């Protein structure tokens, strides 16, 4: 077991201490955010804002432009989602969980393709399309962009995008040496599966409280 821990921490050799500390803080708040999302708790957004704000800085440091854009986008969408989730359908009930409409599915495809084009342009301008991870990063960025948009709109299918994106991100981050973040995405995949089940169970129900 000690050999495993030695190997994990050896990946951080030469990395500034503050980056490692910030990554751990970001991991904790990201886990809290997804856990609160699973419970349909409004605290998903303040914890998410902290996690993504820190992650944006860390990923920019590592040069993962796609993931940097993801977290900057998450930061903005967390504010939007915070507002949308707190809207009420009547005096005592908040917006319910629903399935995506045909129109929203079309917009999901447009957002997915548009994100790939946008991130590809950024990578080309920065001359970062020199490793295979850049191409994977572009795809996961598009997947997560759609997932975050659907989550802000309280759509059940957002979990499907999170699950797929997380599964791809686990080996990507491990390869890049972001071990704690890789382990985080492994845990997020598990939570996302349970999140899908929990949201499906509450489908169409208008909650009376967003703190539970």
Helix segments in the chain, DSSP class H = 2-10, 17-38, 44-62, 65-85, 102-125, 132-152, 158-176, 179-201
For residue 24, give the 3-state DSSP assignment.
Answer: helix
Q: What is the pLDDT of residues 121-169, one digit of tens each?
A: 888 887 778 888 888 988 998 999 999 999 999 999 999 999 999 999 9
pLDDT band at 2 (very low <50, low <70, confident <90, very high): low
Asked whether residue 117 carries a pLDDT value surpassing 90, the answer given is: yes
Least confident of 84-93, 141-150, 194-203: 84-93
The string of pLDDT tens digits covering residues 37-66 is 999 999 999 999 999 899 888 888 877 776
């Amino acid at each position: 077991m000690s050999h495993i821990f030695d190997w994990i921490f050896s990946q951080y050799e030469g990395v500034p201490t503050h980056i490692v500390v910030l990554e751990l803080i970001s991991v904790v708040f990201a886990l809290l955010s997804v856990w609160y999302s699973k419970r349909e708790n409004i605290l998903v957004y303040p914890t998410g804002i902290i996690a993504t704000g820190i992650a944006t800085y860390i990923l920019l440091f590592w040069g993962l432009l796609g993931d940097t854009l993801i977290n900057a986008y998450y930061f903005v969408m967390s504010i939007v989602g915070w507002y949308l989730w707190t809207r009420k359908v009547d005096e005592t009930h908040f917006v319910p969980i629903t399935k995506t409409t045909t129109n929203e599915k079309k917009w999901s495809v447009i957002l997915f393709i548009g994100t790939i084009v946008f991130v590809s342009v950024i990578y080309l301008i920065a001359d970062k399309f020199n490793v295979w991870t850049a191409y994977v990063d572009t795809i996961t960025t598009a997947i997560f962009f759609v997932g975050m948009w659907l989550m802000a709109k309280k759509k059940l299918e957002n979990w499907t995008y999170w699950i797929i994106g997380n599964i791809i991100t686990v080996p990507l981050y491990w390869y890049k040496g972001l071990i704690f973040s890789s382990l985080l995405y492994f845990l997020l995949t598990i939570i996302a599966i349970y999140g899908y089940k929990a949201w499906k169970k509450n489908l169409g129900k208008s909650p009376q409280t967003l703190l539970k």
